[in-house]
Amino acid sequence: MSTLRPTADRALLLPDEHHHDSWRVLRFVSEFVEGFEVLAEVGPAVTCFGSARTLPDDPLYHQAWLVGRALAERGFAVITGGGPGLMEAANKGCKEAGGLSVACNIELPEEQPFNDYVDLGVEFRHFFVRKTMFVRYARGFVIFPGGFGTLDELFEALVLAQTGKIEHFPIVLFGREEWSGLLEWLRSHVLGRNRISPGDLDLMQVTDDPEEAAELATQSHPRLHAQAR
């Protein structure tokens, strides 16, 4: 028998004899309102995604730290999921460079506290509300290697960009070797079988360089970039 504590997301997906779904809308609204109020004054920001399981001695941790630092030096806040691993590294780099380090944490069956480098944090109960905040308050994404959550956030951003729900929104993949297998599969099986358009793959840019990652993620905002320099 599972010992994991129930979450609001899990309760939402289970049958409930005592509550009607229409009442749950109020819970969603309250969570949106809280997120909007807390994050409204963040200013220009880039969201960084990546694995929570990456340890500080992993070279990718240092690379994520450098990206967070480079973004702060360009005048951008860094938003992450608030957990450990690569999220912590990006928050740490931003904070140590004098930038605003922001986190949108999520309620999980196994509690995930905020990392130690968060200046401004909001805790969410529902993934879909949290993902809205990642896009609403960011000007671009830098996506490091990760698991299902990172892939979910990547493809959510791609769908929004592909369908025109977000415009001029850089999506930067960090780590050519790490992403090469997925990109090849997309080219051969998805594009190759006419399931997406050729230009859809151009929605993503790939780099191994932290400075280039920050440059690409902020490239649609030259005025802010110039001021930061």
Tens of pLDDT, residues 182-227: 999 999 999 999 999 989 999 999 999 999 999 999 986 543 433 3
Mean pLDDT across the chain:
88
Residues ≥6 apart with Cβ < 8 Å to 42? 77, 79, 100, 102, 120, 137
- Tens digit of each residue's pLDDT (9 = 90 or more) over 111-142: 678 999 999 999 998 899 999 999 999 999 99
pLDDT band at 25 (very low <50, low <70, confident <90, very high): confident
* pLDDT of 173: 98
CA triple 156-105-16, angle to 5 deg: 80
Band of pLDDT at residue 166, cut at 50, 70 and 90: confident
Is the pLDDT at 2 greater than 50? The verdict is no
Q: What is the pLDDT of residue 112?
A: 74
Q: How confident is the model at residue 109 (pLDDT cuts 50, 70, 90)?
A: confident
Please report the pLDDT score of residue 225 as a whole number. Answer: 39
Q: How far apart are CA 113 and CA 73, in angstroms?
A: 27
Q: How far apart are CA 74 and CA 50, in angstroms?
A: 21
Residues pairing with 101 in the sheet: 78
With a CB cutoff of 8 Å and minimum separation 6, the contacts of 93 are 64, 65, 66, 67, 68, 69, 70, 71, 72, 78
Give the residue, 13 or 206, on which the prediction is more confident.
Answer: 206
Domains along the chain with CATH numbers: 45-223 (3.40.50.450)
CA 51, 81, 117, 178 dihedral sign is positive
- DSSP type of residue 198: G
Distance between CA atoms of residues 1 and 206, nearest Å: 43
Helix (H) or strand (E) holding 45: strand 45-49
